[in-house]
Structures are given as C-alpha cells and as structure tokens.
Structure 1
Amino acid sequence: MIKKVLRYIILGLAVYAVIVMLVINFYKDDPQAMIWQDREAFNNRFISKLKIGEHIAIDDVLETLGSPDLTFLKKKNNDIVQIVYFRTQLVKPDGITTKDECTGLLFKNGKLTLWGPSASVAYEKAFN
C-alpha cells in the first residue's frame, strides 16, 4: 500500500517537473501583457545581457521587448539613426513614461550600436 502511494507521488512529481520544464522552455514572454513592474524587470534583464560586437537587428529587439516606450529617428541620405527607449526604472509614479525612466538602444541602419546613456549622447550628435 505504501509503495503504491509513493509510486503515485513520484509519478505526480515527475509529471509536474515535465510540465514546468515545457512551460519554461517553450512559453514565450509577452511584454505587452505584463504588468509594468514585470516589464521593467524583463527589459532590464534583456538589456543587461547585450554584448558589444553583437549584430542585433532592430526587428529582433522589437520581437523580444515589444513596442518601445519612446522612439526617435534621424535620416540623412541613405543612413538612418534610430533610438528606441524601453522603460527600465520607475522615477515618478505618474503614469507617464519619460526618458529618465528608460534605457535607450541606438540603431544605425537597423543594427544595434550602443545602449545606455551613451546611446542618447550619440543620437544627439548624429548628423551634426
């Protein structure tokens, strides 16, 4: 009797572990459906994993992080410089997202070049 109960408990735990692993590995996070605290943490985690020299396209970032909170673009001839801001830290709980609550990601011709405070400075100097 006890062996049978233990067998069912072990079987239940194994099924639970398989379900958890499937959800973790195959369920894609949707930033648009997250509450703002979770979205900030998600954005922070993604941005903190970025590495210099990676050639990440803007479409890949948008697919992962969703729509940016703020975006600006400059174009000159065939060159396009775009900065997108994703909210990463709450400054004032007023319901309005401002640049100081976001981290900027700078793209030149669709490829990520800089992120963080240096991205904003580089965007302002672009084409000047």
Structure 2
Amino acid sequence: MFKKVFQYLVLGLGVYALIATLVIIFYKDDPQAMIWQDREAFNKRYIAKLSIEQPADLNGVLDYLGSPDLTYAKRVNNDVWQIIFYRTQHVKSDGITTMDECTGLLFKNGQLVLWGPSAYDRYLQES
C-alpha cells in the first residue's frame, strides 16, 4: 500500500516538474497584461540587457516590450529619429506616466543608437 502511494507521489511530482519546466521555457511574458509594478521591473530588466555589440531594432523592442508609454519621432534630412519611453521607476502615484518615470530608447532609422538619461537630450539635439 505504502509503495503504491509513494509511486503515485513521485509520478505526480515528476509530471508537475515537467509542466513547470515547459511553462518556464516556452511561456512568453505579456507586458500588456502585467500590473504596473511587474511591468516596470520587466522593462528595467530588458533595458539593462541591451548592448551596442548586439544592437536592437525598433520592431524587436516593440515585439518584446509592447507599446511604449511615450513616443516621439521626427525626420531630419533622410534620417528618421524616434525615441520611445518605457516606465522603469515609480515616482508619483498620480495615474500619469511622465518622462522622469521612464527610460528612453533612441532609434535612428529603426536601429537602437542610445538609451538611458541622455537619449532624450540627443533626440532634441538632432535637427
């Protein structure tokens, strides 16, 4: 009797471990469905992983992070400059997302060129 219960327990734990592993490996987080605290952390983790050695493109960022909280774009000569902001830190509980609560990602012709506090300053300098 004890042996049979033990076998079922081990089998159940094995199935649970398999399902949990598959979910962790294949489930993609949906930033749009997250509560704001989780989305901030998700955005911050993704932005922290960015590097110049492996440049990101605008569509890849939008696919992964979803719609930005703020966005601005302009054309300078033949170049399109776009800066998108994702909320990464909570400042004030007023229901409005402002630039000081966000991290900017600057794109030139769809390729990431700069991110962080200086991205918006660089965007304004391009004219």
**d(CA) in 2 for partners of 1:41, 1:108:** 26
Match of 1:88? 88
Cα offset, 1:3, TM superposition: 1.6
Cα offset, 1:120, TM superposition: 1.3
Matched, 1:23 2:54: no
Matched, 1:50 2:39: no
**d(CA) in 2 for partners of 1:12, 1:68:** 42
Measured against aligned partners, the alpha-carbon deviations of 1:28-80 in whole angstroms (never above 9, x if no partner) come to: 11111111011001001100111122221100000000000000112022201
**d(CA) in 2 for partners of 1:111, 1:105:** 10
In the TM superposition, what are the counterparts of 1:41-80 in structure 2 within 5 Å?
41-80=41-80
Matched, 1:101 2:95: no
Count of paired positions: 127
Amino acid corresponding to residue 46 of structure 1 in structure 2: Y
Identify which range, 47-56 or 110-119, moves more after superposition.
47-56
**d(CA) in 2 for partners of 1:125, 1:85:** 17
TM-score, length-scaled by structure 1: 0.95
TM-score, length-scaled by structure 2: 0.96
The root-mean-square deviation of aligned C-alpha atoms, in Å, is 0.9
Cα offset, 1:6, TM superposition: 1.2
Amino acid corresponding to residue 31 of structure 2 in structure 1: P
Cα offset, 1:98, TM superposition: 0.2
Unaligned runs of 5+ in 1: none
- Equivalent residues of 2:50, 2:56 under 8 A apart: no
